[in-house]
Chains A and B, each alone.
Chain A
Amino acid sequence: MSLHARIRKLWRSIAPRTPSDVEEEFRTTLDAYQEDLIRQGLSEEEARCKARIDLGRPAAQNETYRDAVGLRFFDELSGDIRYGLRGLLKNPGFSAVAIVSLALGIGATTSMFSLLYAVLLHPVPYADWQRLTYPSYLNDDQPGSPEWWFSLNWPQYQQLLEASTIEDVVGSTNVNSEVTGRDLPEDVTLTYITENVDAFLRVPAMLGRNIQRSDAESTGGQPIVLSFDFWMRHYNGDRAVLNRTLEIDHKPYTVVGVMPRDYAWERDLYVPMSLLPTRERLSVLPVMKLKPGVSLAAADAEIGALLHHFAKDAPQQFPTRFRMRLEHIADRILLSVGHTLVELVVAVLLLLVVGCTNCSILLLARGMSRQSEFAVRSALGASRPRIVRQLLVESLVLAVTGSLLGILLAFWMAKLIFGLFPDVFMHESVIRINLPVLAFSVVLAVISGLLFGLLPSLGMARPDIAQMMQTLGRKVAGGKGQARSLNLLIAAQIALTVVLMGAAGVAISGFLKMTHRDFGYDPAHLMSVPLPFHRHSLFTREQRVEYIETLRRKIATVPGVTQIAISADATPPDSGESRPFEILGAPFTQKQFMRAEFTDAAYFAALRIPLLEGRLWDATENARGAAVCIINQTLARAYFPHGNAVGSRIRLPDLEIPAVNPGELVGVPDTTGWLQVIGVVADSLDNGLDKPVLPAVYVPYARFMWEFTQFLIRTDGPPLAALHPIQLAIQSINSDQQTERNVRDLEQWIAQEPEVQQQRLFSILFGLFSSLALALALVGLYSVVSYSVAQRTNEFGIRMALGAQRAHVLSIVSRSIGLTVVCGLAAGLVLFVALHSLLIHIADSSGSNPFILVGVVALFLFSAALACTIPAMRATSIDPMQAIRYE
């Protein structure tokens, strides 16, 4: 038997018979009986009658059949659904508002939950990510500083592999390299990674494969794996990239794989560690996978002991005093955005509750005007469960429609949020609406359907038939109990809306405060152009200074360039490096930290940081790396309260040229010597946008030089437009000199800072959610006022016919709803203040602003008045005669 026939047979065995089939069979029986009766001597008409009396009507037979085979429940249910749908379609305004309220609530909740899931519950795609740790420790030489990461040399790395608490370790070394063999060199990070990486992370490659253990031994060809970003940037997402040759630092590599987008272990390119000669494996960053069940404390103890052992042999590699503090790789994400996301999820849950309340209000108001209908049904014999079921079916129809729409909305919103604010979240987290999230929203829909369906239906399912029948044909004001629950719902909705609006106010004012604070420098028309120096070139300090000054003179000739400054990494808003310092004549404490910034004297003019006292150093002082410095105002105020800063002496005791890798750092022999303070400049941001300015000291850049430098270039137009001519100018001096990829416009830099983005996202979402809640609350208010006005149209007609003024009628309407609004508002304010003070207590965020509350109350009262007045005005504009006749 074919499959088709099998299915047809199966269906025939379970499917109910068709009505015509049932009727035809019944008719043959009826006819046979009728003929028998005629044969017994009855007339044809008598026989027809008797047969129908004895057996029943053919038309009703299908119902008997469905009842007999147990389909009646479904028939009734589908009747309920059809009736409910017809009712909803007859009131498109009501249905649309109810469905949209739910869809907004469910959509917002689902999208935020998806974000939360992506970031908190499944932050990275790596296998066993709960057991992966960064190599972090606390530097007790600098107490209070954040955790540091250590790297190891190759023999140390191999000893670490032996540790009993560790399952495996992936080691990597980044090298600044360039893609060669093309017209312009392209700056890339080349990551030498140990060949166990594929088995360690178990992330399937998007194309080809990752670096594998077999790469350690193979001698033929040099395999290279591309990151998603590099693949998109360099190959434009070309899928035919495998086996192509990529030239890095004039050496050919064969592309063997492209990793997926959420694999962001390092930035650009991965090659096997075996390609790096063992003697060059001096700085391997170890990421550890702990054995199952091993606690961080146990791992800290073992690895800490191992590291202290290493430190004995290589004291320059580690601080003098340190403690292990291994960190799970997901901890940073939890710290940075977890808190914000949890607050947002609470906000959307509030929005969901407002949406459900709105639906409940609408259903209750609608149900109250349907009381006569229920009375009639009840009088005709409908049982209480039957009426409750009808109402539940109607609200579930709303809930299902609303949640389907909400899921669509959630898809769109989660994508939008992630697309708009990519930097807020870790690169590894990719948002998808997945099964748990879908389940969450479906459960949410059903619960909310039952929640808001049950509340009105319980109150209405037992109508007072006698009273209803007497007043039938005349609209009656709803019962006291229902009116009370309606008012309660509205007040609750208003209270929650006010809480959300208050939270939005706090978020937005926080964002404004952050972006409108006094930066202390002028980021407009300014860009930073970082330049890496080549390995094994420019060995001496003098060579580097000469090279930098040559480049500076050349860049100055580019049209549009107005000012050029040089700084190692002194680019605000997060500039310099945290270092301990010592003041001559003052007791030295370990806890004294400031930002050390290596700049030239033009830095202050280019960034428009005013000199407050003393003088700047000149070009010859810079060139010889003179022992002078300039301090910022914060440092001067904190340590020289009597204004005697200029002329004092400061020392940076840890500024040493390390014994390893002597080529990396160059400087004057006496780098740790005393520096004379020659000037004081105004403060500018050096510790991020949201934290206070730290003490800072500016030192001539030629005193201490890394393998890179950075030009800060001010232009008269948009700065990035001048980048290409500047790069050409640099190439004309040294054709091998690339500029690093992260050239940045300082104004955009601020906008892209994670804390700014985060705060902006926070305020946009809070603003969005609270305005949605406000809109919902106003619609609820509007519909309730319209409803109560419609109920009392007769009464108003009589009043006006008897001479009541419009204003009087208006005041009656607003008085009844006004009390509810004010109560809700007050409750909301109290709740908000309580929550807010709790929040400040927990999160240690900035204090509240009384203007926010005033603004919220004013905005709410204004819009609430509008929502009430429109239906009230409509009521009073009715012709009294019409109103009296109105049904």
Chain B
Amino acid sequence: MTKPVELPQGTLEVLILKAVSLGPLHGYGILLRIQQISGERLEILQGSFYTAIYRLERQGWIRGEWGESENNRRARFYSLTAAGTRQLKAETAKWIDMAAVVAGILNKKADEI
């Protein structure tokens, strides 16, 4: 098993958007989906998880609706809204851009400068 990774501030939101973009999920499902995609390397079992969901819903990027879960229980399913899709796209571009720039700087060797 690989080493767990600490999430930088503000990244949880974009991960949730990504998880939900693949199909409607309830809260615990989002949690599992992120862990699964990350290869079990992210530990996000904190109170901050629901805080992030609430904030995203308030902003209108995800929409929650009650429905039936896989084991026939009532659960609240979240799906991406149109605004959420745009937000995810912008955030993804920003992340990739930033990561590339930072990685580019860090990978430079002394003779390349």
Residues of A within 8 A of B18 (CB): none
Closest residue to B54 on the A side, CB-wise? A68
A64's partner among B27, B47, B74 (CB-CB below 8 A) is B47
Inter-subunit contact B26/A68 (CB<8 Å): no
Inter-subunit contact A28/B28 (CB<8 Å): yes
How many angstroms between the C-alpha atoms of A31 and B71 in the bound complex? 12
Check: A32 CB closer than 8 A to any chain B CB: yes
Residues of B within 8 A of A56 (CB): 47, 50
How many angstroms between the C-alpha atoms of A13 and B83 in the bound complex? 14
Indicate the member of B45, B46, B69 with the most A CB atoms within 10 Å: B45
Interface residues of A in 24-70 (CB under 8 A from B): 24-26, 28-29, 31-33, 54-56, 61, 64-65, 67-70
B51's partner among A28, A33, A68 (CB-CB below 8 A) is A68
Shortest C-beta distance, B48 to chain A (Å), equals 9
Inter-subunit contact A65/B76 (CB<8 Å): no
Inter-subunit contact A64/B54 (CB<8 Å): yes
How many angstroms between the C-alpha atoms of A61 and B48 in the bound complex? 11
How many angstroms between the C-alpha atoms of A44 and B51 in the bound complex? 27
Residues of A within 8 A of B76 (CB): 25, 28
B45's partner among A54, A64, A68 (CB-CB below 8 A) is A54
Residues of B within 8 A of A25 (CB): 26-27, 64, 75-76
B73's partner among A28, A54, A70 (CB-CB below 8 A) is A28
Closest residue to A28 on the B side, CB-wise? B75
Residues of A within 8 A of B31 (CB): 29, 33
Residues of B within 8 A of A24 (CB): 74
Closest residue to B74 on the A side, CB-wise? A28
How many angstroms between the C-alpha atoms of A70 and B51 in the bound complex? 11
Check: B109 CB closer than 8 A to any chain A CB: no
Shortest C-beta distance, A519 to chain B (Å), equals 81
How many angstroms between the C-alpha atoms of A28 and B27 in the bound complex? 9
Shortest C-beta distance, B84 to chain A (Å), equals 14
Shortest C-beta distance, B59 to chain A (Å), equals 9
Task: Report if A29-B45 is in contact (Cβ < 8 Å); known contacts: A64-B50, A69-B55, A69-B58.
Answer: no
Inter-subunit contact A29/B58 (CB<8 Å): no
Inter-subunit contact B50/A26 (CB<8 Å): yes
Shortest C-beta distance, B52 to chain A (Å), equals 8
Task: Report if A64-B51 is in contact (Cβ < 8 Å); known contacts: A33-B28, A54-B45.
Answer: yes
Task: Report if A29-B47 is in contact (Cβ < 8 Å); known contacts: A65-B54, A68-B54, A68-B55.
Answer: no
How many angstroms between the C-alpha atoms of A68 and B96 in the bound complex? 27
Inter-subunit contact B50/A61 (CB<8 Å): yes
How many angstroms between the C-alpha atoms of A207 and B10 in the bound complex? 71
How many angstroms between the C-alpha atoms of A31 and B54 in the bound complex? 19
Shortest C-beta distance, B58 to chain A (Å), equals 4
A55's partner among B45, B58, B64 (CB-CB below 8 A) is B45
Residues of A within 8 A of B75 (CB): 25, 28
- Map CB proximity to A onto B71-103 as digits: 1 under 8 Å, 0 otherwise: 001111000000000000000000000000000
How many angstroms between the C-alpha atoms of A54 and B27 in the bound complex? 14
How many angstroms between the C-alpha atoms of A32 and B28 in the bound complex? 7
Residues of A within 8 A of B74 (CB): 24, 28
Shortest C-beta distance, B93 to chain A (Å), equals 26
How many angstroms between the C-alpha atoms of A54 and B45 in the bound complex? 6
- Map CB proximity to B onto A641-679 as digits: 1 under 8 Å, 0 otherwise: 000000000000000000000000000000000000000
Residues of A within 8 A of B58 (CB): 68-70
Inter-subunit contact B27/A67 (CB<8 Å): no
Assign chain A's interface to a size class. 10 to 19
How many angstroms between the C-alpha atoms of A64 and B69 in the bound complex? 24
Residues of B within 8 A of A33 (CB): 28, 31, 45
Shortest C-beta distance, B98 to chain A (Å), equals 25
How many angstroms between the C-alpha atoms of A64 and B52 in the bound complex? 10
Inter-subunit contact B51/A67 (CB<8 Å): yes
Residues of B within 8 A of A13 (CB): 60
Closest residue to A32 on the B side, CB-wise? B28
Task: Report if A29-B54 is in contact (Cβ < 8 Å); known contacts: A55-B45, A55-B47, A64-B47.
Answer: no
Residues of A within 8 A of B52 (CB): 68
Shortest C-beta distance, B22 to chain A (Å), equals 19
Shortest C-beta distance, A8 to chain B (Å), equals 15
Shortest C-beta distance, A10 to chain B (Å), equals 13
Shortest C-beta distance, B78 to chain A (Å), equals 10
How many angstroms between the C-alpha atoms of A56 and B49 in the bound complex? 11
Inter-subunit contact B51/A29 (CB<8 Å): no
Shortest C-beta distance, B45 to chain A (Å), equals 4
How many angstroms between the C-alpha atoms of A24 and B50 in the bound complex? 13
Residues of A within 8 A of B50 (CB): 26, 29, 55-56, 61, 64-65, 68
How many angstroms between the C-alpha atoms of A261 and B60 in the bound complex? 58
Inter-subunit contact A29/B28 (CB<8 Å): yes
Residues of B within 8 A of A55 (CB): 45, 47, 49-50
Residues of B within 8 A of A31 (CB): 73
How many angstroms between the C-alpha atoms of A792 and B47 in the bound complex? 52
Shortest C-beta distance, A89 to chain B (Å), equals 35
Residues of B within 8 A of A65 (CB): 50, 54
Residues of B within 8 A of A70 (CB): 58
Residues of A within 8 A of B73 (CB): 28, 31
- Map CB proximity to B onto A68-79 as digits: 1 under 8 Å, 0 otherwise: 111000000000
Shortest C-beta distance, A86 to chain B (Å), equals 30
Shortest C-beta distance, A37 to chain B (Å), equals 11
Shortest C-beta distance, B56 to chain A (Å), equals 9
How many angstroms between the C-alpha atoms of A54 and B46 in the bound complex? 6
Indicate the member of B26, B51, B64, B76 with the most A CB atoms within 10 Å: B76
Shortest C-beta distance, A273 to chain B (Å), equals 71
How many angstroms between the C-alpha atoms of A55 and B74 in the bound complex? 19
How many angstroms between the C-alpha atoms of A33 and B26 in the bound complex? 12
How many angstroms between the C-alpha atoms of A699 and B76 in the bound complex? 106
Shortest C-beta distance, B29 to chain A (Å), equals 8
How many angstroms between the C-alpha atoms of A97 and B46 in the bound complex? 52
A29's partner among B26, B60, B64 (CB-CB below 8 A) is B26
Interface residues of B in 1-55 (CB under 8 A from A): 26-28, 31, 45-47, 49-52, 54-55
Shortest C-beta distance, A11 to chain B (Å), equals 15
Indicate the member of A24, A32, A55, A56 with the most B CB atoms within 10 Å: A32
Shortest C-beta distance, A25 to chain B (Å), equals 4
How many angstroms between the C-alpha atoms of A29 and B55 in the bound complex? 18
Inter-subunit contact A28/B26 (CB<8 Å): yes
Shortest C-beta distance, A773 to chain B (Å), equals 52
Shortest C-beta distance, B53 to chain A (Å), equals 8
Inter-subunit contact A69/B27 (CB<8 Å): no
Residues of A within 8 A of B46 (CB): 54
Shortest C-beta distance, B21 to chain A (Å), equals 20
Residues of B within 8 A of A68 (CB): 50-52, 54-55, 58
Shortest C-beta distance, A9 to chain B (Å), equals 12
Closest residue to A51 on the B side, CB-wise? B45
How many angstroms between the C-alpha atoms of A874 and B14 in the bound complex? 71
How many angstroms between the C-alpha atoms of A54 and B47 in the bound complex? 7
How many angstroms between the C-alpha atoms of A25 and B27 in the bound complex? 8
Shortest C-beta distance, B25 to chain A (Å), equals 11
Inter-subunit contact B69/A28 (CB<8 Å): yes
Shortest C-beta distance, A18 to chain B (Å), equals 13
Shortest C-beta distance, B30 to chain A (Å), equals 9
Closest residue to A25 on the B side, CB-wise? B76
Indicate the member of B47, B52, B73, B74 with the most A CB atoms within 10 Å: B47
How many angstroms between the C-alpha atoms of A28 and B55 in the bound complex? 19
Shortest C-beta distance, B101 to chain A (Å), equals 31
How many angstroms between the C-alpha atoms of A135 and B52 in the bound complex? 79
How many angstroms between the C-alpha atoms of A69 and B53 in the bound complex? 10
How many angstroms between the C-alpha atoms of A330 and B46 in the bound complex? 75
Interchain Cβ contacts under 8 Å between A and B, 5 examples: A24-B74, A28-B69, A29-B31, A54-B45, A56-B50
Query: Apart from A28-B76, A29-B50, what 12 extra A-B contacts exist at CB < 8 Å?
Result: A25-B64, A25-B75, A26-B50, A28-B73, A29-B26, A31-B73, A33-B45, A55-B49, A64-B51, A68-B50, A68-B52, A69-B55
The 8 closest A-B pairs by CB, nearest first: A68-B54, A54-B45, A69-B58, A32-B28, A29-B28, A25-B76, A68-B51, A29-B27
